[in-house]
Structure 1
Protein backbone atom coordinates (compact mmCIF):
# COMPACT_ATOMS: atom_id res chain seq x y z
CA UNK A 1 0.00 0.00 0.00
CA UNK A 2 1.40 3.40 -1.00
CA UNK A 3 1.66 6.30 1.42
CA UNK A 4 -1.23 7.93 -0.41
CA UNK A 5 -3.33 4.83 0.15
CA UNK A 6 -2.49 4.77 3.87
CA UNK A 7 -3.40 8.45 4.14
CA UNK A 8 -6.73 7.78 2.49
CA UNK A 9 -7.42 4.93 4.89
CA UNK A 10 -6.57 7.30 7.74
CA UNK A 11 -9.13 9.78 6.45
CA UNK A 12 -11.72 7.02 6.29
CA UNK A 13 -11.04 6.04 9.90
CA UNK A 14 -11.16 9.67 11.09
CA UNK A 15 -14.60 10.13 9.50
CA UNK A 16 -15.74 6.79 10.91
CA UNK A 17 -14.66 7.76 14.42
CA UNK A 18 -16.38 11.14 14.28
CA UNK A 19 -19.61 10.11 12.52
CA UNK A 20 -19.91 6.39 13.26
CA UNK A 21 -20.40 5.52 9.60
CA UNK A 22 -18.96 6.05 6.13
CA UNK A 23 -20.67 5.65 2.77
CA UNK A 24 -18.88 4.45 -0.33
CA UNK A 25 -20.52 7.05 -2.56
CA UNK A 26 -19.41 9.91 -0.27
CA UNK A 27 -15.84 8.58 0.02
CA UNK A 28 -15.58 8.35 -3.77
CA UNK A 29 -16.29 12.08 -4.02
CA UNK A 30 -14.17 13.10 -1.02
CA UNK A 31 -11.06 11.08 -1.96
CA UNK A 32 -11.53 11.38 -5.73
CA UNK A 33 -11.03 7.68 -6.39
CA UNK A 34 -13.16 4.92 -7.86
CA UNK A 35 -15.75 2.95 -5.91
CA UNK A 36 -13.63 -0.18 -6.46
CA UNK A 37 -10.70 1.52 -4.70
CA UNK A 38 -12.89 2.49 -1.77
CA UNK A 39 -14.21 -1.05 -1.49
CA UNK A 40 -10.64 -2.35 -1.41
CA UNK A 41 -9.73 0.10 1.38
CA UNK A 42 -12.77 -0.99 3.37
CA UNK A 43 -11.95 -4.66 2.86
CA UNK A 44 -8.39 -4.09 4.08
CA UNK A 45 -9.56 -2.11 7.11
CA UNK A 46 -12.11 -4.79 7.95
CA UNK A 47 -9.37 -7.44 7.72
CA UNK A 48 -7.45 -5.35 10.28
CA UNK A 49 -10.56 -5.28 12.52
CA UNK A 50 -10.79 -1.49 12.18
CA UNK A 51 -14.37 -1.36 10.90
CA UNK A 52 -17.37 -3.44 9.87
CA UNK A 53 -18.41 -3.32 6.25
CA UNK A 54 -22.14 -2.96 5.61
CA UNK A 55 -24.31 -2.47 2.55
CA UNK A 56 -23.09 0.73 0.86
CA UNK A 57 -20.24 1.53 3.25
CA UNK A 58 -18.99 0.72 6.73
CA UNK A 59 -19.72 1.34 10.41
CA UNK A 60 -17.70 1.31 13.61
CA UNK A 61 -17.06 -2.07 15.10
CA UNK A 62 -19.38 -2.60 18.03
CA UNK A 63 -17.05 -3.83 20.78
CA UNK A 64 -18.68 -6.58 22.82
CA UNK A 65 -21.72 -6.75 20.52
CA UNK A 66 -23.61 -4.25 22.66
CA UNK A 67 -26.42 -2.05 21.38
CA UNK A 68 -25.31 1.59 20.91
CA UNK A 69 -27.11 4.11 23.12
CA UNK A 70 -30.17 5.94 21.80
CA UNK A 71 -28.20 9.17 21.37
CA UNK A 72 -25.54 7.44 19.28
CA UNK A 73 -28.11 5.68 17.11
CA UNK A 74 -30.07 8.87 16.56
CA UNK A 75 -27.39 10.57 14.44
CA UNK A 76 -26.58 7.61 12.19
CA UNK A 77 -28.16 7.54 8.73
CA UNK A 78 -30.43 10.43 9.71
CA UNK A 79 -31.50 11.37 6.17
CA UNK A 80 -32.19 7.76 5.20
CA UNK A 81 -34.25 7.22 8.35
CA UNK A 82 -36.31 10.32 7.64
CA UNK A 83 -37.08 9.09 4.12
CA UNK A 84 -38.04 5.69 5.51
CA UNK A 85 -40.32 7.37 8.05
CA UNK A 86 -42.04 9.36 5.31
CA UNK A 87 -42.62 6.22 3.24
CA UNK A 88 -44.00 4.42 6.29
CA UNK A 89 -46.42 7.24 7.05
CA UNK A 90 -47.89 6.85 3.57
CA UNK A 91 -49.13 3.40 4.68
CA UNK A 92 -51.03 4.80 7.68
CA UNK A 93 -54.74 5.41 7.15
CA UNK A 94 -57.22 7.50 9.11
CA UNK A 95 -58.60 5.67 12.18
CA UNK A 96 -55.69 3.20 12.26
CA UNK A 97 -54.35 1.71 15.47
CA UNK A 98 -50.57 1.53 15.07
CA UNK A 99 -47.68 0.24 17.15
CA UNK A 100 -44.47 2.29 16.90
CA UNK A 101 -41.32 0.48 18.00
CA UNK A 102 -38.60 2.21 20.02
CA UNK A 103 -35.99 2.53 17.26
CA UNK A 104 -34.76 5.84 15.88
CA UNK A 105 -36.14 4.89 12.45
CA UNK A 106 -39.80 4.34 13.48
CA UNK A 107 -39.59 7.62 15.41
CA UNK A 108 -39.34 9.44 12.06
CA UNK A 109 -42.80 8.17 11.15
CA UNK A 110 -44.35 10.54 13.70
CA UNK A 111 -43.18 13.66 11.85
CA UNK A 112 -45.41 12.71 8.90
CA UNK A 113 -48.64 11.85 10.74
CA UNK A 114 -49.98 15.39 10.99
CA UNK A 115 -52.52 14.94 8.19
CA UNK A 116 -53.88 11.66 9.57
CA UNK A 117 -57.12 11.68 11.59
CA UNK A 118 -58.22 9.79 14.68
CA UNK A 119 -55.16 7.58 15.07
CA UNK A 120 -54.40 5.45 18.11
CA UNK A 121 -50.67 5.03 18.74
CA UNK A 122 -49.15 2.39 21.00
CA UNK A 123 -45.46 2.74 21.83
CA UNK A 124 -42.74 1.53 24.18
CA UNK A 125 -40.48 4.44 23.22
CA UNK A 126 -39.99 7.42 25.52
CA UNK A 127 -38.80 9.74 22.70
CA UNK A 128 -41.84 8.73 20.62
CA UNK A 129 -44.12 9.43 23.59
CA UNK A 130 -42.62 12.88 24.16
CA UNK A 131 -42.87 13.80 20.47
CA UNK A 132 -46.47 12.62 20.26
CA UNK A 133 -47.35 14.60 23.40
CA UNK A 134 -45.73 17.71 21.95
CA UNK A 135 -47.65 17.33 18.68
CA UNK A 136 -50.89 16.62 20.56
CA UNK A 137 -50.50 19.77 22.69
CA UNK A 138 -49.93 21.83 19.53
CA UNK A 139 -52.95 20.28 17.78
CA UNK A 140 -50.63 18.67 15.22
CA UNK A 141 -51.65 15.12 16.10
CA UNK A 142 -55.19 13.78 16.07
CA UNK A 143 -55.76 10.71 18.17
CA UNK A 144 -54.95 8.79 21.36
CA UNK A 145 -51.58 7.79 22.78
CA UNK A 146 -50.84 4.69 24.87
CA UNK A 147 -47.47 4.03 26.49
CA UNK A 148 -46.73 0.33 26.94
CA UNK A 149 -45.66 0.39 30.60
CA UNK A 150 -42.99 -1.66 32.35
CA UNK A 151 -39.31 -1.56 33.25
CA UNK A 152 -37.59 1.61 31.96
CA UNK A 153 -34.29 1.21 30.13
CA UNK A 154 -32.62 4.62 30.56
CA UNK A 155 -29.77 3.96 28.13
CA UNK A 156 -32.11 3.16 25.26
CA UNK A 157 -35.09 5.30 26.33
CA UNK A 158 -37.59 2.47 26.15
CA UNK A 159 -39.81 0.22 28.25
CA UNK A 160 -39.46 -3.59 28.23
CA UNK A 161 -39.97 -6.58 30.52
CA UNK A 162 -42.71 -9.00 31.52
CA UNK A 163 -45.09 -6.27 32.72
CA UNK A 164 -44.83 -4.52 29.35
CA UNK A 165 -45.48 -7.80 27.54
CA UNK A 166 -48.65 -8.40 29.58
CA UNK A 167 -49.88 -4.90 28.77
CA UNK A 168 -49.04 -5.28 25.08
CA UNK A 169 -51.14 -8.45 24.95
CA UNK A 170 -54.24 -6.37 25.78
CA UNK A 171 -54.06 -4.38 22.54
CA UNK A 172 -54.66 -5.14 18.89
CA UNK A 173 -53.13 -2.97 16.14
CA UNK A 174 -53.80 -2.54 12.45
CA UNK A 175 -50.10 -2.01 11.72
CA UNK A 176 -46.86 -2.55 13.64
CA UNK A 177 -43.84 -0.47 12.59
CA UNK A 178 -40.72 -2.35 13.64
CA UNK A 179 -37.00 -1.55 13.86
CA UNK A 180 -34.25 -4.17 13.89
CA UNK A 181 -30.50 -4.52 14.49
CA UNK A 182 -29.65 -7.15 11.91
CA UNK A 183 -31.28 -8.55 8.81
CA UNK A 184 -30.24 -11.44 6.55
CA UNK A 185 -32.02 -13.76 4.12
CA UNK A 186 -32.57 -16.08 7.10
CA UNK A 187 -34.44 -13.63 9.31
CA UNK A 188 -34.43 -10.63 11.65
CA UNK A 189 -32.33 -10.19 14.80
CA UNK A 190 -31.92 -7.65 17.61
CA UNK A 191 -29.43 -6.99 20.40
CA UNK A 192 -31.82 -7.14 23.36
CA UNK A 193 -33.91 -10.31 23.99
CA UNK A 194 -36.34 -8.41 26.29
CA UNK A 195 -37.04 -5.86 23.59
CA UNK A 196 -37.32 -8.61 20.99
CA UNK A 197 -39.91 -10.49 23.05
CA UNK A 198 -42.02 -7.37 23.55
CA UNK A 199 -41.93 -6.43 19.89
CA UNK A 200 -42.77 -10.01 18.91
CA UNK A 201 -45.86 -9.82 21.12
CA UNK A 202 -47.01 -6.62 19.39
CA UNK A 203 -46.34 -8.19 15.99
CA UNK A 204 -48.51 -11.16 16.94
CA UNK A 205 -51.32 -8.74 17.78
CA UNK A 206 -51.06 -6.70 14.55
CA UNK A 207 -52.74 -7.24 11.20
CA UNK A 208 -49.74 -5.99 9.25
CA UNK A 209 -46.04 -6.06 10.21
CA UNK A 210 -43.86 -3.39 8.61
CA UNK A 211 -40.11 -3.54 9.08
CA UNK A 212 -38.21 -0.23 8.84
CA UNK A 213 -34.43 -0.38 8.38
CA UNK A 214 -31.58 1.51 6.81
CA UNK A 215 -29.07 -0.37 4.65
CA UNK A 216 -26.41 -0.59 7.39
CA UNK A 217 -28.35 -3.46 9.01
CA UNK A 218 -28.33 -5.62 5.86
CA UNK A 219 -26.15 -8.69 6.28
CA UNK A 220 -25.75 -8.30 10.06
CA UNK A 221 -26.78 -10.90 12.65
CA UNK A 222 -27.21 -9.96 16.32
CA UNK A 223 -27.80 -11.95 19.51
CA UNK A 224 -31.56 -12.52 19.55
CA UNK A 225 -33.59 -13.96 16.67
CA UNK A 226 -36.76 -11.86 16.85
CA UNK A 227 -38.75 -13.15 13.90
CA UNK A 228 -38.66 -14.90 10.54
CA UNK A 229 -39.58 -13.61 7.11
CA UNK A 230 -42.90 -15.40 7.16
CA UNK A 231 -44.00 -12.96 9.90
CA UNK A 232 -43.11 -9.80 7.91
CA UNK A 233 -45.42 -8.18 5.35
CA UNK A 234 -43.44 -5.13 4.19
CA UNK A 235 -39.85 -3.89 4.39
CA UNK A 236 -39.08 -0.20 3.97
CA UNK A 237 -35.40 0.49 3.29
CA UNK A 238 -33.25 3.14 1.60
CA UNK A 239 -31.85 0.64 -0.95
CA UNK A 240 -33.16 -2.23 -3.06
CA UNK A 241 -33.22 -5.67 -1.53
CA UNK A 242 -30.11 -7.81 -2.14
CA UNK A 243 -30.60 -9.76 -5.35
CA UNK A 244 -30.03 -13.12 -3.69
CA UNK A 245 -32.91 -12.47 -1.26
CA UNK A 246 -35.59 -12.12 -3.92
CA UNK A 247 -36.53 -15.80 -4.04
CA UNK A 248 -36.89 -16.08 -0.26
CA UNK A 249 -38.92 -12.88 0.12
CA UNK A 250 -41.10 -13.73 -2.87
CA UNK A 251 -41.92 -17.13 -1.39
CA UNK A 252 -42.91 -15.46 1.89
CA UNK A 253 -44.89 -12.74 0.04
CA UNK A 254 -42.83 -9.91 1.55
CA UNK A 255 -43.02 -6.55 -0.25
CA UNK A 256 -39.92 -4.31 -0.35
CA UNK A 257 -40.36 -0.52 -0.58
CA UNK A 258 -37.37 1.68 -1.42
CA UNK A 259 -37.60 5.03 0.37
CA UNK A 260 -36.04 7.94 -1.51
Structure 2
Protein backbone atom coordinates (compact mmCIF):
# COMPACT_ATOMS: atom_id res chain seq x y z
CA UNK A 1 0.00 0.00 0.00
CA UNK A 2 1.66 3.19 -1.20
CA UNK A 3 1.31 6.67 0.28
CA UNK A 4 -2.06 8.11 -0.70
CA UNK A 5 -3.57 4.78 -1.78
CA UNK A 6 -7.03 4.34 -0.25
CA UNK A 7 -8.72 1.05 0.64
CA UNK A 8 -12.25 0.43 1.89
CA UNK A 9 -12.79 -1.90 4.82
CA UNK A 10 -15.73 -3.52 2.99
CA UNK A 11 -13.43 -4.38 0.05
CA UNK A 12 -10.95 -6.02 2.43
CA UNK A 13 -13.75 -8.09 3.97
CA UNK A 14 -14.78 -9.35 0.53
CA UNK A 15 -11.19 -9.97 -0.62
CA UNK A 16 -9.98 -11.81 2.50
CA UNK A 17 -13.10 -13.44 3.90
CA UNK A 18 -12.21 -12.04 7.32
CA UNK A 19 -14.84 -10.49 9.54
CA UNK A 20 -15.38 -6.75 9.62
CA UNK A 21 -14.25 -6.75 13.27
CA UNK A 22 -10.96 -8.47 12.33
CA UNK A 23 -10.33 -6.01 9.50
CA UNK A 24 -10.94 -3.03 11.80
CA UNK A 25 -8.61 -4.50 14.41
CA UNK A 26 -5.87 -5.12 11.83
CA UNK A 27 -6.20 -1.63 10.39
CA UNK A 28 -5.91 -0.16 13.88
CA UNK A 29 -2.75 -2.19 14.45
CA UNK A 30 -1.22 -0.97 11.19
CA UNK A 31 -2.13 2.60 12.09
CA UNK A 32 -0.23 2.28 15.38
CA UNK A 33 2.80 1.09 13.40
CA UNK A 34 2.66 4.16 11.16
CA UNK A 35 1.84 2.21 7.99
CA UNK A 36 -1.53 3.83 7.31
CA UNK A 37 -4.11 6.25 8.64
CA UNK A 38 -7.67 5.23 9.43
CA UNK A 39 -10.38 7.21 7.66
CA UNK A 40 -14.16 6.77 7.69
CA UNK A 41 -14.92 3.40 6.13
CA UNK A 42 -11.35 2.35 5.50
CA UNK A 43 -7.73 3.51 5.49
CA UNK A 44 -5.17 5.40 3.43
CA UNK A 45 -1.47 4.60 3.08
CA UNK A 46 0.95 7.04 4.69
CA UNK A 47 3.63 8.62 2.51
CA UNK A 48 7.35 8.34 3.03
CA UNK A 49 9.06 10.98 5.14
CA UNK A 50 9.22 14.26 3.26
CA UNK A 51 5.98 13.69 1.37
CA UNK A 52 2.37 14.30 2.34
CA UNK A 53 -1.02 12.90 1.56
CA UNK A 54 -3.10 14.41 -1.27
CA UNK A 55 -5.14 17.49 -0.37
CA UNK A 56 -8.49 15.75 -0.82
CA UNK A 57 -7.51 12.90 1.50
CA UNK A 58 -6.25 15.32 4.17
CA UNK A 59 -9.42 17.39 3.92
CA UNK A 60 -11.48 14.36 5.00
CA UNK A 61 -9.44 13.56 8.12
CA UNK A 62 -9.73 15.05 11.63
CA UNK A 63 -12.56 17.30 10.42
CA UNK A 64 -13.96 18.15 13.86
CA UNK A 65 -10.51 18.76 15.33
CA UNK A 66 -9.65 21.13 12.48
CA UNK A 67 -12.96 22.95 12.86
CA UNK A 68 -12.19 23.58 16.53
CA UNK A 69 -8.69 24.79 15.67
CA UNK A 70 -10.07 27.11 13.00
CA UNK A 71 -12.54 28.66 15.41
CA UNK A 72 -9.86 29.08 18.09
CA UNK A 73 -7.46 30.82 15.69
CA UNK A 74 -10.20 33.08 14.34
CA UNK A 75 -10.97 34.16 17.91
CA UNK A 76 -7.36 35.34 18.29
CA UNK A 77 -7.61 37.71 15.29
CA UNK A 78 -9.19 41.15 15.97
CA UNK A 79 -11.35 42.82 13.33
CA UNK A 80 -9.35 45.19 11.15
CA UNK A 81 -6.23 43.00 11.24
CA UNK A 82 -3.99 42.16 8.33
CA UNK A 83 -3.39 38.41 8.07
CA UNK A 84 -1.24 36.01 6.06
CA UNK A 85 -2.96 32.63 5.84
CA UNK A 86 -0.81 29.64 4.92
CA UNK A 87 -2.12 26.84 2.72
CA UNK A 88 -3.35 23.44 3.92
CA UNK A 89 -6.53 21.87 5.24
CA UNK A 90 -6.22 23.11 8.82
CA UNK A 91 -5.71 26.66 7.55
CA UNK A 92 -8.77 26.00 5.40
CA UNK A 93 -10.74 25.58 8.63
CA UNK A 94 -9.33 28.93 9.78
CA UNK A 95 -10.48 30.51 6.49
CA UNK A 96 -14.03 29.22 7.02
CA UNK A 97 -14.09 30.70 10.51
CA UNK A 98 -12.80 34.07 9.24
CA UNK A 99 -15.10 34.44 6.22
CA UNK A 100 -17.18 37.63 6.38
CA UNK A 101 -14.98 39.36 8.99
CA UNK A 102 -13.54 42.88 8.54
CA UNK A 103 -10.01 41.78 7.65
CA UNK A 104 -7.33 42.01 4.97
CA UNK A 105 -6.02 38.53 4.22
CA UNK A 106 -3.17 37.42 1.96
CA UNK A 107 -4.33 33.88 1.10
CA UNK A 108 -1.61 31.50 -0.04
CA UNK A 109 -3.82 29.05 -1.96
CA UNK A 110 -6.77 29.11 -4.31
CA UNK A 111 -8.74 26.95 -1.85
CA UNK A 112 -8.36 29.56 0.89
CA UNK A 113 -9.06 32.54 -1.36
CA UNK A 114 -12.30 30.97 -2.59
CA UNK A 115 -13.54 30.21 0.94
CA UNK A 116 -12.71 33.71 2.16
CA UNK A 117 -14.23 35.46 -0.85
CA UNK A 118 -17.55 33.66 -0.36
CA UNK A 119 -17.93 35.53 2.93
CA UNK A 120 -17.96 39.00 1.32
CA UNK A 121 -21.00 40.98 0.19
CA UNK A 122 -21.90 43.09 -2.82
CA UNK A 123 -21.26 46.35 -0.96
CA UNK A 124 -17.57 45.54 -0.56
CA UNK A 125 -17.80 45.34 3.21
CA UNK A 126 -16.21 42.44 4.97
CA UNK A 127 -13.06 40.59 4.13
CA UNK A 128 -10.52 41.85 1.60
CA UNK A 129 -8.73 38.94 -0.08
CA UNK A 130 -5.32 39.22 -1.73
CA UNK A 131 -3.20 36.51 -3.35
CA UNK A 132 0.50 36.36 -4.21
CA UNK A 133 1.97 35.66 -7.62
CA UNK A 134 4.27 32.81 -8.49
CA UNK A 135 3.87 29.22 -9.60
CA UNK A 136 0.64 27.42 -8.76
CA UNK A 137 1.23 23.93 -7.40
CA UNK A 138 -1.08 21.24 -8.83
CA UNK A 139 -3.30 19.49 -6.30
CA UNK A 140 -2.52 21.86 -3.44
CA UNK A 141 -3.37 24.94 -5.58
CA UNK A 142 -0.90 26.95 -3.48
CA UNK A 143 1.65 29.47 -4.72
CA UNK A 144 5.40 29.04 -4.47
CA UNK A 145 8.63 30.31 -6.01
CA UNK A 146 10.55 33.57 -5.72
CA UNK A 147 7.60 35.71 -6.89
CA UNK A 148 5.33 34.34 -4.17
CA UNK A 149 8.05 34.78 -1.54
CA UNK A 150 8.63 38.38 -2.65
CA UNK A 151 4.92 39.21 -2.46
CA UNK A 152 4.71 37.72 1.04
CA UNK A 153 7.77 39.70 2.15
CA UNK A 154 6.15 42.91 0.82
CA UNK A 155 3.02 42.34 2.94
CA UNK A 156 3.01 43.55 6.54
CA UNK A 157 0.82 41.25 8.64
CA UNK A 158 -0.44 41.74 12.16
CA UNK A 159 -0.84 37.95 12.37
CA UNK A 160 0.58 35.15 10.27
CA UNK A 161 -1.27 31.83 10.46
CA UNK A 162 1.15 29.01 9.75
CA UNK A 163 0.26 25.53 8.57
CA UNK A 164 2.39 22.66 9.88
CA UNK A 165 3.87 19.66 8.06
CA UNK A 166 5.98 18.50 11.01
CA UNK A 167 7.15 19.91 14.34
CA UNK A 168 9.31 18.11 16.84
CA UNK A 169 11.51 18.96 19.78
CA UNK A 170 14.83 18.36 18.05
CA UNK A 171 14.24 19.87 14.59
CA UNK A 172 11.67 22.56 15.32
CA UNK A 173 9.20 23.22 12.52
CA UNK A 174 9.84 21.48 9.20
CA UNK A 175 8.22 21.35 5.76
CA UNK A 176 7.72 18.63 3.18
CA UNK A 177 9.20 20.63 0.27
CA UNK A 178 11.91 23.25 -0.08
CA UNK A 179 9.43 25.60 -1.78
CA UNK A 180 6.97 25.33 1.11
CA UNK A 181 9.77 25.96 3.61
CA UNK A 182 10.70 29.17 1.76
CA UNK A 183 7.08 30.36 1.78
CA UNK A 184 6.71 29.63 5.50
CA UNK A 185 9.95 31.48 6.32
CA UNK A 186 8.67 34.52 4.40
CA UNK A 187 5.36 34.34 6.29
CA UNK A 188 7.17 34.30 9.64
CA UNK A 189 9.42 37.20 8.66
CA UNK A 190 6.47 39.37 7.56
CA UNK A 191 4.24 38.78 10.61
CA UNK A 192 4.26 40.62 13.92
CA UNK A 193 2.69 37.58 15.59
CA UNK A 194 2.91 33.97 14.37
CA UNK A 195 0.12 31.51 15.14
CA UNK A 196 0.55 27.89 14.07
CA UNK A 197 -2.58 25.87 13.30
CA UNK A 198 -1.95 22.12 13.41
CA UNK A 199 -3.75 18.88 14.10
CA UNK A 200 -2.16 17.18 17.09
CA UNK A 201 -0.80 14.36 14.90
CA UNK A 202 1.69 16.82 13.34
CA UNK A 203 3.38 17.50 16.68
CA UNK A 204 6.25 15.10 17.23
CA UNK A 205 6.76 14.48 13.49
CA UNK A 206 9.65 15.76 11.39
CA UNK A 207 9.63 16.50 7.66
CA UNK A 208 12.72 17.12 5.53
CA UNK A 209 13.26 20.88 5.20
CA UNK A 210 13.86 23.23 8.13
CA UNK A 211 11.48 26.15 8.62
CA UNK A 212 12.21 27.66 12.03
CA UNK A 213 13.05 26.87 15.65
CA UNK A 214 10.09 26.34 17.94
CA UNK A 215 10.77 29.67 19.64
CA UNK A 216 9.89 31.55 16.43
CA UNK A 217 6.20 30.67 16.91
CA UNK A 218 4.13 32.65 19.42
CA UNK A 219 1.04 30.42 19.67
CA UNK A 220 0.03 26.91 18.65
CA UNK A 221 -3.65 26.01 18.24
CA UNK A 222 -4.00 22.25 18.13
CA UNK A 223 -5.99 19.27 19.34
CA UNK A 224 -5.28 17.09 22.34
CA UNK A 225 -1.54 16.92 23.10
CA UNK A 226 0.37 14.70 25.47
CA UNK A 227 1.75 16.41 28.57
CA UNK A 228 5.31 15.77 27.35
CA UNK A 229 4.79 17.47 23.98
CA UNK A 230 2.99 20.40 25.49
CA UNK A 231 5.79 20.85 28.02
CA UNK A 232 8.64 21.15 25.51
CA UNK A 233 6.65 23.59 23.41
CA UNK A 234 5.90 25.78 26.41
CA UNK A 235 9.55 25.64 27.44
CA UNK A 236 10.37 27.14 24.03
CA UNK A 237 7.99 30.03 24.76
CA UNK A 238 5.06 28.76 22.68
CA UNK A 239 1.60 29.47 24.06
CA UNK A 240 -0.30 26.19 23.49
CA UNK A 241 -4.06 26.30 22.98
CA UNK A 242 -5.62 22.81 22.95
CA UNK A 243 -9.00 22.76 21.22
CA UNK A 244 -10.10 19.29 22.34
Instruction: Give me the TM-score of the superposition, normalised by structure 1.
Output: 0.76
Corresponding residue of 1:91: 76
For the structure 1 residues 65 and 167, does the alpha-carbon distance in structure 2 shift closer, same or farther, using more than 3 Å as the test? closer
Q: Give the match for residue 33 of structure 1.
A: none
Q: 1:65 to 1:59 in 2, by over 3 A?
A: farther
Q: Deviations over 1:223-259 (max 9, x none)?
A: 111111110000111113x323455333332110011
The answer to whether the 8 A contact 2:220-2:240 is kept is yes
SS in 2 for 1:220: coil
Match of 2:188 in 1: 203
Give 1:1-260 correspondences, 5 Å limit: 8=21, 10-13=23-26, 41=29, 46=33, 50-51=35-36, 60-63=45-48, 65-114=50-99, 116-117=101-102, 119-137=103-121, 142-186=126-170, 187-240=172-225, 242-260=226-244
RMSD value, Cα: 2.7
Q: Which has the higher helix share?
A: 1
CA contact (8 A) 2:185 2:211 kept: yes
Q: Does the 8 Å contact 2:100/2:116 carry over to 1?
A: no
- CA deviation string 1:41-78 (max 9, x = no partner): 458x62xx74379xxxx973214742222112111111
CA contact (8 A) 2:49 2:208 kept: no
Q: Is the 8 A contact 1:70 1:157 kept in 2?
A: no
Shift of 1:140: 9.8
- Using the alignment, how far apart are the partners of 1:180 and 1:104 within structure 2? 10
The worse-fitting range, judged by mean Cα deviation, of 158-167 and 245-254 is: 245-254
Structure 1 residue 123, shift from structure 2 partner: 1.4
Answer yes or no: is the 8 Å Cα contact 2:85–2:105 preserved in 1. Answer: yes
Moved runs in structure 1, 4+ residues, more than 6 A? Answer: 138-141
Kept in 2: contact 1:213–1:237 (CA 8 A): yes
**Is the contact between residue 50 and residue 61 of structure 1 (CA under 8 Å) also seen in structure 2?**
yes
